[in-house]
Chain A
């Protein structure tokens, strides 16, 4: 099974940078996903990491350290529309099941 932890809430100012950490414990690891979810809407895919290191996609970057069971999502040049919940999800190596953390609500203030 999976045990996934991420902070509940974070607040940042427009134009700033925010880093959302995710730690996990798993019996078998087969990739980590980050999703963005605006209030009342469906989660949408942001990034995927399976090897150690940094994946960059425009203003968003995601980092993975498998040995530490740790990932972070970095949001740069924050915009008001980035106010949302960010979900960390880990896939199991044996059944490919995706388990989600409770999500981190990011509030961007002007």
Chain B
């Protein structure tokens, strides 16, 4: 089944404790992206990657890191999480071949930083 898989689904952590949210897709998509979703603000892009070893900042990259060593994986790293990073996070991917191809989203990771 074609899908984007994120882990974990729920995560509660404390300020300053490094964490990684994994994202993997099995559709051979070139493009991958991370979003955070907050009430009243909608989905905001954190980082995106056009292909392996190519990553760029989105609208809200501060406090986050990403890597794209393999095509299928695009982990999101919070080196020193803070309470304002409490949010619902989505990973998404799409193929690069078709200009109208939609994003496929993972099931989300609800992060709480205390």
Contact = CB atoms under 8 A, between A and B. Distances in A.
A43 B107 contact: no
Interface stretch (A12-20, A62-70, A75-83, A98-106): A98-106
Contacts, number: 48
Interface of A is mostly: strand
Interface string B73-114: 000000000000000001000000001101111111000000
B48 interface: yes
State which size class the interface on B falls in.
20 to 34
Interface of B: 33, 35, 40-45, 48, 58-59, 90, 99-100, 102-108
Contacts of B107: 41-42
Contacts of A43: 43, 90, 103, 105
Contact of B42 (A48, A97, A102): A102
